[in-house]
Structure formats: C-alpha cells, structure tokens
C-alpha cells in the first residue's frame, strides 16, 4: 500500500502559467480532499469529492479546478497561477463514513513568482 501519493514534491511557476498537481490513493477511499497550508492559517479546504464524478467547493476554491473521473485520482488544476497561490498543498483521502480518519499525502510545495 503506497497510501496517498502526490506529485510533484516541489514546483516553481511563473505568474500566469497553468499546472496540475497530482494526487492518487490506493486504499479505495471514496472521500478525497485538497487543502492548502499557509503559515498561521492552518489547513484550508480547496475542493473535495465524495466519490467518482462528484466534487464540491471548499473554503477557498477560486483559481482551482478539480475533477474525479476515477476513485483513485483527484488532480488539482491551477488555471493561471498567481503569487497568492504560493503555498503547500496537501491531498487527503478517507473511507466514506465521516467518522473515519483522513490519510494525508506528503504535500506539494508550490512557489509562484
């Protein structure tokens, strides 16, 4: 079991560039989420999914798109990167039941110049 994997580990972008952060899990979890972590602001939910084909917005969705075509994968797309999107991004997954623990990936550190 690889758990939750994220690629890349680190990325530098120029303002206006687009990119996709990859997230995959091999635990057959239905719930998947994307968070960003900024100093002093904890984890903020960007988008989440309760199953393949179903996504919803979190607290800070602007500038990000997601899709969930398979149970395993939940990519996060930055359409036109901005310096305000410089952050550490974490993907998490959990089984369907809300009392279940979330499993986190190792994170992607993104720097937008």
Q: Under the rule (CB under 8 A), what is the footprint of another protein? A: 4, 31, 33, 35, 40-45, 48-50, 56, 58-59, 90, 92, 97-99, 101-107
DSSP 8-state code for residue 84: G
Please state the closest distance from residue 26 (CB atom) to another protein, in A: 16
Helix (H, G, I), strand (E, B) or coil at 18: coil
The tokens for 22 are: 């990859």
- Phi, then psi, of 83 in degrees rounded to 5: -55, -30
């Amino acid at each position: 079991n690889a758990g939750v994997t994220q690629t890349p580990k680190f990325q530098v972008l120029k303002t206006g560039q687009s990119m996709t952060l990859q997230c995959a899990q091999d635990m057959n979890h239905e719930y998947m989420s994307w968070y960003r972590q900024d100093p002093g602001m904890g984890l903020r939910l960007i988008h989440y999914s309760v199953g393949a084909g179903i996504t919803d917005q979190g607290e800070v969705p602007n500038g990000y798109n997601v899709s969930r075509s398979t149970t395993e994968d939940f990519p996060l797309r930055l359409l036109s990167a901005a310096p305000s999107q410089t952050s550490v991004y974490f993907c998490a997954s959990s089984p369907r039941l809300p009392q279940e623990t979330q499993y986190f990936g190792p994170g992607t550190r993104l720097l937008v110049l």
